[in-house]
Amino acid sequence: GEDVEQSLFLSVREGDSSVINCTYTDSSSTYLYWYKQEPGAGLQLLTYIFSNMDMKQDQRLTVLLNKKDKHLSLRIADTQTGDSAIYFCAERRDSWGKLQFGAGTQVVVTP
Amino acid sequence: GAGVSQTPSNKVTEKGKYVELRCDPISGHTALYWYRQSLGQGPEFLIYFQGTGAADDSGLPNDRFFAVRPEGSVSTLKIQRTERGDSAVYLCASSQNPNNEQYFGPGTRLTVT
């Protein structure tokens, strides 16, 4: 089973902010990632954060990392209907780049 | 430029048959990964190639699964004596080197009947 945990579902109104949460277990993880998966499509890398950072902002996306609590979050500002998808957080645990994924959070954006 | 491509996009096979799934990584990417995604789950790591060699095959579930990358580019995941539990989407990803981000292909949906 996955050691990376995410809530399974999030419903948000168009224009509001979305916050997707993730907890991971390996304190030695070097990078943490957020991927987006739309129906029938592959995984799209949205953003990532290095473990020595607390925050990273990229346009509408803000990633917060609390290393002490092993908690990662992704905030999407001004959520649009095109943001409806499944969002996966993943941790990279070794130098090979092997990723450990959570089960994904399905985000549904309503008008 | 072209992304990671995978063929076939869908494969239906009977229990006990042999299947091959192909991955064509982004040109110049030395690192290649296979993952398996079951319904409602996140991808699970299967195997990692650096160049032609399998550097980490710890995720392969059993000896029915095997993968090759003979020329350091295209990779083939081979499954012998398929079982219904092998049904999943098989994803391939590549990166310029292990320290860089991974780019995923669209996957091959395998259904074993």
Residue A75 corresponds to which tokens in the numbers above? 């905030």
Q: To the nearest whole angstrom, how far is the Cα of B104 from the nearest Cα of chain A?
A: 6
For residue B90, list its beta bridge partners.
B36, B108
Report the residue from A43, A45, A103 with minimal CB separation from B91: A43
Report the residue from B40, B56, B103 with minimal CB separation from A96: B56
Looking at every residue in chain A, the average pLDDT score rounds to 91
Taking only the tens place, the pLDDT of each residue in B19-76 is 999 999 999 999 999 999 999 899 999 999 999 999 899 999 999 999 999 999 999 9
The verdict on B25 touching A (C-beta cutoff 8 Å) is no
Report the residue from A2, A48, A102 with minimal CB separation from B101: A48
CB contact under 8 A, B40 and A41: no
User: What CA–CA distance (Å, rounded) separates B39 from A52?
Assistant: 34
- Composition of chain B by helix, strand, coil, percent to 5: 5, 50, 50
CA distances to A24, A65, B25, B55, B73 from B96, in Å: 26, 26, 10, 15, 12
For residue A73, list its beta bridge partners.
A21, A64
CB contact under 8 A, A99 and B102: yes
> According to the model, what pLDDT value does residue B87 have?
98
Residue B98 or residue A103, greater confidence: A103
Q: Is the pLDDT of residue B107 over 90?
A: yes
The verdict on A44 touching B (C-beta cutoff 8 Å) is yes
The verdict on B101 touching A (C-beta cutoff 8 Å) is yes
Q: Which residues of B touch A43 (CB under 8 A)?
A: 43, 91, 93, 104
Q: To the nearest whole angstrom, how far is the Cα of A72 from the nearest Cα of chain B?
A: 17
CB contact under 8 A, A97 and B55: no
Q: Is the pLDDT of residue A2 over 70?
A: no
User: What CA–CA distance (Å, rounded) separates B54 from A19?
Assistant: 38
Cβ atoms of B106 and B6 within 8 Å: the answer is yes
CB contact under 8 A, A97 and B33: yes
pLDDT band at A55 (very low <50, low <70, confident <90, very high): very high
Taking only the tens place, the pLDDT of each residue in A9-44 is 999 999 999 999 999 987 777 889 999 999 878 899
Which residues are CB-neighbours of A65 under 8 A, at least 6 positions away? A32, A49, A51, A53, A54, A55, A71, A72
The verdict on B45 touching A (C-beta cutoff 8 Å) is yes
User: What CA–CA distance (Å, rounded) separates A65 from A49?
Assistant: 8
User: What CA–CA distance (Å, rounded) separates A36 from A23?
Assistant: 17
Cβ atoms of A84 and A108 within 8 Å: the answer is yes
Going by C-alpha positions, the residue among B23, B14, B20 that lies closest to residue B82 is B14
> According to the model, what pLDDT value does residue B1 have?
54
